[in-house]
A and B are shown apart, each in its own frame.
Chain A
C-alpha cells in the first residue's frame, strides 16, 4: 500500500487571556480545519486553551542551533542593557 502521509502542523495554545500562545506539540492533519479540530482534541481535553494556532511545520523558519554563537554573541557583552549595571544611591535604588 502506497503511503500518503498527512502533513505535520505545530500547535500553539493561549491558555488564558493575558498570556502568550505557547508551543505545546504537533499533530498530523490533511488540512487546516482538521488540524484545528485535532489540536483541540489532543491538547485541550481539560480546557487548557482559549485560542489555538496551527502552523504547517514546513512554514516555520528557525535559526540554526550551530549558529548560536554568531547570532547571539553581540548581545552577550552589552551588559549596560541590564539594570544591575547601574549603582545608584540607596534612597533611590528601588528604580
Chain B
C-alpha cells in the first residue's frame, strides 16, 4: 500500500553494517524463515534496509498528508460532538505519522531527509489522499472505507519482520478501530436523517468506493515487490487483502442502506467470496503520477507548514542552547 515509488531517499546507513556477507545473509534469512524479528542494530541486507525506509516513510507521509482532507472539515463539523471526534481522529493521524517516522529513523535516515523526499516528490504517499472532501458525508465515508482499508493492511503488518515497524503498527491498530467506527456511526446518523442527507451519503460512497479498493495497490500479477514477501515485510498479497476488504464491506453497506457503485459485485458461491468489477488502473496510475485532483494542493500545504515552521524549530534550538549556557554559568 505504501510502496509506490520510483526512487528511494538515499541515505548513508548509520548502524547496521553495510558489508554484504554470505554468512550474515544465511543467518538473516534463517531468522526471517523462523518468524523472528530484526532489530535496528542487527545486520541486514542493504536492500532490506532500503525497502523498509521507503515503505515505512511513505506510510508515515500518508498519515501526515491524510490529516489534510479531514482537517478541511474541522471548522465546519455539524455539532460540537462531531468536531471533538474529528479533532481526536486527526490528532491520532499526526501521532501515527510520528510513530512511523520514529521507526523509519532507526534504519539510519534523518527526519529532514525523509521530509525533503516527500516535498520534492521522490517519496510518495497513499494515492487516496489526493481526492477532495466535498462535504460532511465524505468524512464519514473516509472513516468507514479508507480507514477500513488501512486496517485490513495494517493488521498483518503487526507481525512484519522489522521490530520497530511491527511495534508501531500494534500501537496504530489499537487506535485505528475508533476511526472506522466513528465514520460508520456518522453515516448511520445521516442515513436516519433527511432524504437530502441520505443522497449525500450515497453520492460520497459513489465517489470513494473505487479509490478505496485501489488503495491495496496493483493486482498481484502486476506487482514488483517480491522481496517484501521473502523478507516477511508483506505477509498477505494485494489481491488477498482487497478481497477480504470487499467481503467485509458488502454487509456493512447493506446495514447502512447504501449501494456500492459496482454492477458486477455479486456473491460467488464456488469461490466463497464476492466477485467485483474491473478496476480502472489508468485512474490509479494517473493519480499516483501526480495528476489527481489534490496532489498539488497537498504538497503545497505540507511545504507551507514546513517553511512557515522553520523559525519555530530554529528558535527552540537557540532557546535551549542559551538556557543550557546560562545554567552552566550559574553552576
Chain A residues in contact with chain B, CB under 8 A? 1, 3-6, 8, 24-28, 30-31, 34, 41-42, 45-46, 62, 64-66
Assess whether B39 is in contact with A4, with CB atoms less than 8 Å apart.
Answer: no
Identity of the chain A residue whose Cβ is nearest the Cβ of B319 in the assembled complex: A30
* B98 proximity list for chain A (CB < 8 A): 27, 42
Identity of the chain A residue whose Cβ is nearest the Cβ of B168 in the assembled complex: A25
Assess whether A25 is in contact with B314, with CB atoms less than 8 Å apart.
Answer: no
Assess whether A8 is in contact with B105, with CB atoms less than 8 Å apart.
Answer: yes
Assess whether A45 is in contact with B41, with CB atoms less than 8 Å apart.
Answer: no
A26 with B105, Cβ < 8 A, contacts A4-B317, A45-B91 known: yes
Assess whether B316 is in contact with A6, with CB atoms less than 8 Å apart.
Answer: yes
Which residue, B168, B171, B307, has most C-beta atoms of chain A within 10 A?
B171
* B317 proximity list for chain A (CB < 8 A): 4, 6, 30
Query: From DSSP, what is the main secondary structure of chain B's interface residues?
Result: helix
Assess whether A66 is in contact with B95, with CB atoms less than 8 Å apart.
Answer: no
* Cα of A66 to Cα of B17 in the assembled complex, Å: 10
- Nearest-neighbour CB distance to chain A for B166, whole angstroms, equals 13
* Cα of A1 to Cα of B309 in the assembled complex, Å: 12
* A66 proximity list for chain B (CB < 8 A): 43
Does any Cβ of A come within 8 Å of B282's Cβ? Answer: no
* B103 proximity list for chain A (CB < 8 A): 25
Chain B residues in contact with chain A, CB under 8 A? 39, 41-43, 88, 91-92, 95, 98-99, 102-103, 105, 110-112, 167-168, 171, 175, 307, 310, 313-314, 316-317, 319-320, 323-324
Assess whether A4 is in contact with B313, with CB atoms less than 8 Å apart.
Answer: yes
* Cα of A62 to Cα of B40 in the assembled complex, Å: 12
Identity of the chain A residue whose Cβ is nearest the Cβ of B103 in the assembled complex: A25
Assess whether B91 is in contact with A25, with CB atoms less than 8 Å apart.
Answer: no
Assess whether A34 is in contact with B316, with CB atoms less than 8 Å apart.
Answer: yes
Assess whether A5 is in contact with B316, with CB atoms less than 8 Å apart.
Answer: no
* A3 proximity list for chain B (CB < 8 A): 112
* B39 proximity list for chain A (CB < 8 A): 65
16 contacts between A and B (CB under 8 A): A5-B110, A6-B313, A6-B316, A25-B102, A25-B103, A26-B105, A30-B319, A31-B319, A31-B323, A41-B95, A42-B98, A45-B92, A45-B95, A46-B175, A62-B41, A65-B43
